[in-house]
Structure 1
């Protein structure tokens, strides 16, 4: 006589992955979204001005809660005076502040830029480390800043989740995560590998110029027909 199937115990139930409602999205739709973004933006890149890894790290660190435009205006003058860790350290906090005083949180950022310059000199021989662990050990460089640097330099297909990426990813129903870390993890799961290296820039630029926060430009959007949020957004 056959026995009825045993009920799942707490132990066996814990082994089963919990399915998240609405995730993952339809892979064909995701593929189509990035194919179209790639078509209109074949070579996306950061809008921050930089010359090398050091100036990139500084520019990205300064860009937290500030616009790229405001950072570029400041670094245009700053990098003419201090574009190496040695020169930045010689400038000091007091000398750096006048260059970046138009940027939000400039006092704390000045402190971090000088501290990271010192660490690059003392620990890394004046060369910016290009691996995640050492980058994130630099003062003022968190996961998002490290991801931007590693992605921009083609070292890692990282996705830095800022407000634009967070907003666009949710509007497109690519993710369900409620924190930047969860969104980052889910994007890595659903973005096709061929598009992953540039996905960060496509999502940022799309959010910055088309899928804007208050009045998204659905009529001019190349992926509007693939967007589940278009109706509720008024597009």
Structure 2
């Protein structure tokens, strides 16, 4: 079993572009506090198996949970009802065309059991900058000319790190997720990082794996 980090003090980041080893994260996966959301630090974080997650009035928190929720693209589950949705022409998909709108919707759409959003103004600015540099990508779902769903994340090439998704109509985010998984599978991507467990992600085929295995795949 990996060290759960219980004996390690919390690491506070300064200006240096570095992170502590992921094995030093605590039992909840919290690894470090502070630093910034520059494109360079964000890319280093994702390449190191780390992601930011914090509230608007808090310091930046950096996480590397164990186990890690991932989807192997070939294992994406498509239910009978979703197979019908995928065959239907009522929904269409675009990529990387409306990144700003997708991240705004992900921040605004209410979710059951969740108060507020972790997609703060700082986060939106940071990922928009990553998008401009070609690393953050979005998938948009349309119905009758209206944006009804989508998702965004960080594309490392071979690994896609999903950040958030939204639906304004039933199955829209599932449509985006499944279409993305199928595309990435065809391109030979190793996995989609989903970060933490949710029943919704599990229903789509995502699974928990040890952080050590995740780091090897990364």
TM-score by length of 2: 0.26
Bigger relative contact order, structure 1 or 2 (CA pairs below 8 A, ≥6 apart): 2
| TM-score (norm. length: structure 1) | 0.24
Bigger strand share: 2
More helix by share: 1
Bigger Rg over Cα: 1
